[in-house]
């Protein structure tokens, strides 16, 4: 039903400070910018940082993950070593975790090969040796795991993992979503509050209807519909990411 993560919105209290991390440390190049917001293209997804001056505000202390190539991953560890990254091995891949200026836990996972990076066009302009190929995971904090899981499964997400000792579930789809009841994860990461996600779908009305009812919406926006769920997360369904 949902075919692509178009955009992830993050709240930035001070835009200049936020940009220093994403542009200087991660090497992202702005695709659009104003006094209140800036966007970056990472693979197929747009990352948007914006000041909390309007709604939707953008996610607060969101934990999300960039993908990079397996070959580049050690270089990312070296490049960000002064930030004291936490490293975790998942057996088949490794990830590092650092924090941006607004308290978002930013993961970089060495999960792609060189062909993946080339096909997505997600090369980090800082260096051809340090690609970021996309955003492959976003963590949402929820108050009722069973309810939230049912709502996202109605949108076509499928369960790929469940927590053994903590209330969480991992869902696979156009992006992996982790739904956490309040807890601390790796690197003491927290699930995001009122996270702002935009998805591409052939039929926004069908998506909104399938997973409803919603606390707010569906409301018409340019190219689609916007809703807000019971946890305050904002989902926008559009027919074209562009």
Mean of the pLDDT values across residues 71-78?
Answer: 96
- The domain that holds 39 is classified in CATH as 3.10.180.10
SS3 103: coil
Q: In what order do the strands lie in the sheet with 63-69?
A: 86-89, 94-99, 105-112, 63-69, 134-141, 176-180, 168-172, 158-162
Confidence of residue 126 (pLDDT cuts 50, 70, 90): very low
Mean of the pLDDT values across residues 61-67?
Answer: 98
Residues 25-36: tens digit of each pLDDT = 999 999 999 999
Write down the pLDDT at residue 122. 46
- Residues spanned by the domain of 209: 2-238
Residues 134-149: tens digit of each pLDDT = 999 999 999 999 999 9
User: For the chain, what is the domain count?
Assistant: 1
DSSP annotation of 80: T
Mean of the pLDDT values across residues 165-176?
Answer: 95
**Strand 105-112, strand 63-69: pairing:** parallel
Q: Where are the alpha helices (DSSP H) in 87-144?
A: 114-120
């Amino acid at each position: 039903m949902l075919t692509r993560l178009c955009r992830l919105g993050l709240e930035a209290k001070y835009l200049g400070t936020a940009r220093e991390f994403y542009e200087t440390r991660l090497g992202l190049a702005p695709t659009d910018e104003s006094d209140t917001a800036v966007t970056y293209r990472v693979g197929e997804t747009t990352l948007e940082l914006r000041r909390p001056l309007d709604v939707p505000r953008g996610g607060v202390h969101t934990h999300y993950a960039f993908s990079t190539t397996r070959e580049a991953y050690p270089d990312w560890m070296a490049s960000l070593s002064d930030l004291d990254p936490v490293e975790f091995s998942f057996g088949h891949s490794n990830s590092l975790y650092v924090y941006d200026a607004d308290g978002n836990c930013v993961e970089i996972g060495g999960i792609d090969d060189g062909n993946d990076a080339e096909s997505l066009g997600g090369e980090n302009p800082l260096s051809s040796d340090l690609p970021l190929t996309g955003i492959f995971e976003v963590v949402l904090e929820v108050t009722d795991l069973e309810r939230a899981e049912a709502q996202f499964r109605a949108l076509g997400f499928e369960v790929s993992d469940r927590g053994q000792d903590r209330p969480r579930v991992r869902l696979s789809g156009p992006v992996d979503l982790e739904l956490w009841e309040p807890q601390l994860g790796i690197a003491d990461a927290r699930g995001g509050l009122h996270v702002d996600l935009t998805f591409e779908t052939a039929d926004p009305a069908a998506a909104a209807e399938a997973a409803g009812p919603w606390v707010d919406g569906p409301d018409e926006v340019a190219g689609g519909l916007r809703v807000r769920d019971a946890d305050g997360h904002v989902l926008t369904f559009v027919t074209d990411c562009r």
